[in-house]
Amino acid sequence: MAKATFGAGCFWGVEELFRTTKGVIETSVGYMGGTLDNPSYQDICKSKSGHAEVVQLMYDPDIITYSELVSVFFDNHNPTELNRQGPDIGSQYRSVIFYQDDQQKSAAEDAKAALSASGRFKKEIVTAIEPATTYWPAEEYHQKYLSKHGFSSCHI
């Protein structure tokens, strides 16, 4: 198995997307990319810790490649929105790929460049590509939220 970490807005919908993707074995929502140790959801909501809401997943690279996961990521949110997705506003909702190694970094950069060159979006792709830092799991009530509560509970 391999690990991947993506931030694309509210983590509830992003987790459900990846949880139901063939080849993804396990998902977890949490926080990455900030300066505060063991942040809480309340810390993240204040947009002062620097963390993004992320989905960390384990996947089987024999079933789905990292590049395919990056495509799923780009196909399911607006990568031109800086620090927001839909009605959710703040740096915690930023579009970001946290890479685990140089191969993931290269795949993410190549995908972003290809998407930029495609003309699909009129605005600049603002997705950040950053090295993975400490992953802090979110509170239990956030885990698999939409599979527990249904899609009417989130803005997807």
Active site (catalytic) residues: 10
Angstrom CA distances, 104 to 5, 18, 115, 116, 122, stand at: 10, 17, 16, 18, 26
Q: Which amino acid is at 11?
A: F
What is the rounded distance in angstroms from the CA atom of residue 4 to the CA atom of residue 27?
A: 10
- CB burial string 99-111: b at 16+ within 10 A, e below: beeeebbebbeeb
Q: Which of 76, 27, 36 is nearest to 54 (CA)?
A: 27
Residue 60's CB: how many other CB atoms inside 10 A?
A: 12
**Residue 5 DSSP SS3:** strand
The number of residues in the chain equals: 156
